[in-house]
Chain A
């Protein structure tokens, strides 16, 4: 069955520290991969996406993600977290327009 797994429900990091949010997927073929961010009371905003080509993709707000086919992973990273990055982060996959989301990782940023 197709699935998206975000193993970490909640992560807390200090401002200025590095961040990595994990995402694993189970699909028959390599799907399109996305990371979205959701601030409280807001809709989902696209951070970055991977369709093909270079496996390291750059997104908005200083985020990047690396696609690793062998591990079926698409982890999100940021070298230095800002307080404004506190939000819920969702990994999503799409195959033939069928977009599915992980359960999300809530990021808390300590001063």
Chain B
């Protein structure tokens, strides 16, 4: 079975620019997560979707971050404008009900 696909793998942008990440979850997985992993820390949940509805976005900085999951499949995460502290790896994961989450390889964002 195909895994969680993310693109791009790497992105370097200047502060105040915008950036978008894309995620294609495992087929049939209703739950999709976006995590932010800052170097040396554990993944922090940004937003969780159940199908195309938001379950939890309490830790999403909504003044600059947005995410959508159209048609309950693919998802995009956007940052606009980016700050230096947004430099991190952005991980997408999907799961079937409350079983384990399957992770993509992540997008490493560097803001300079």
**Which A residues are within 8 Å of any B CB, using their own CB?**
4, 6, 32, 34, 36, 42-46, 49, 90, 92, 94, 96-104
Contacts and interface: CB of A to CB of B under 8 A. Distances in A.
Interface residues of B, number: 26
Contacts of A44: 43, 91, 93, 103
Interface string B4-47: 10000000000000000000000000010101000001111100
A101 B97 CA distance: 18
**Of residues A4, A42, A43, which shows the largest number of chain B Cβ atoms within 10 Å of its Cβ?**
A43
B56 to A, nearest CB: 6
User: Which secondary structure dominates where chain A touches chain B?
Assistant: strand
A36 B105 CA distance: 13
Contacts, number: 56
Interface of B: 4, 31, 33, 35, 41-45, 48, 50, 55-56, 91, 93, 95, 97-106
B42 A97 contact: no
30 contacts: A4-B42, A6-B42, A32-B98, A32-B99, A43-B4, A43-B91, A43-B104, A43-B105, A44-B91, A46-B100, A46-B102, A90-B42, A90-B43, A92-B101, A94-B100, A97-B50, A97-B55, A97-B95, A97-B97, A98-B45, A98-B48, A98-B56, A99-B33, A99-B45, A99-B93, A99-B95, A100-B45, A101-B42, A101-B43, A103-B42
B112 to A, nearest CB: 20
Contact of A34 (B35, B42, B100): B100
A32 B98 CA distance: 8
Given A90-B43, A94-B100, A99-B93, 9 more contacts: A43-B91, A46-B102, A94-B101, A96-B98, A97-B48, A97-B50, A98-B45, A98-B55, A98-B56
